[in-house]
Amino acid sequence: MKPKELFGLGVRLFGLFLGRSGLACAYDYWYLGHSRLQQQGELGYNLVFCGVYLVAAAYFVAGAPHLVKYSYPEPEPPADSETTTPKADDKPIF
């Protein structure tokens, strides 16, 4: 595997870890401590925390294209000066 592919695989695995953490947080919220969190005033904090984890997980599992492009930019094709700039003695086709 190329380094770019390995990096992409690592990003996706990190996304799976974030997804597991977000789902564990959501499970704690919905099934274990909804009433306890509401009494302590941590309800909104927990919802935001779970949401951020799940959104970040979706981005990383999708491959994080911006991060991969930034880390491994595509090589620019070599500029061919003869075909891009016309010469003064070239005659038009028409």
Section 54-66 average pLDDT: 91
Rounded CA-CA distance 72/87 in Å is 36
Which of 21-25, 27-31, 39-43, 53-57 shows the lowest per-residue confidence on average (mean pLDDT)? 39-43
Higher pLDDT pick, 52 / 29: 52
Rounded CA-CA distance 63/81 in Å is 36
Segment holding 25, helix H or strand E: helix 3-27
Residue 80 is predicted with a pLDDT of: 65
Q: Are 19 and 57 in contact (CB under 8 A)?
A: yes
The reported pTM is: 0.67
Task: Please determine, for residue 37, whether its predicted confidence score (pLDDT) is greater than 80.
Answer: no
Section 59-88 average pLDDT: 77
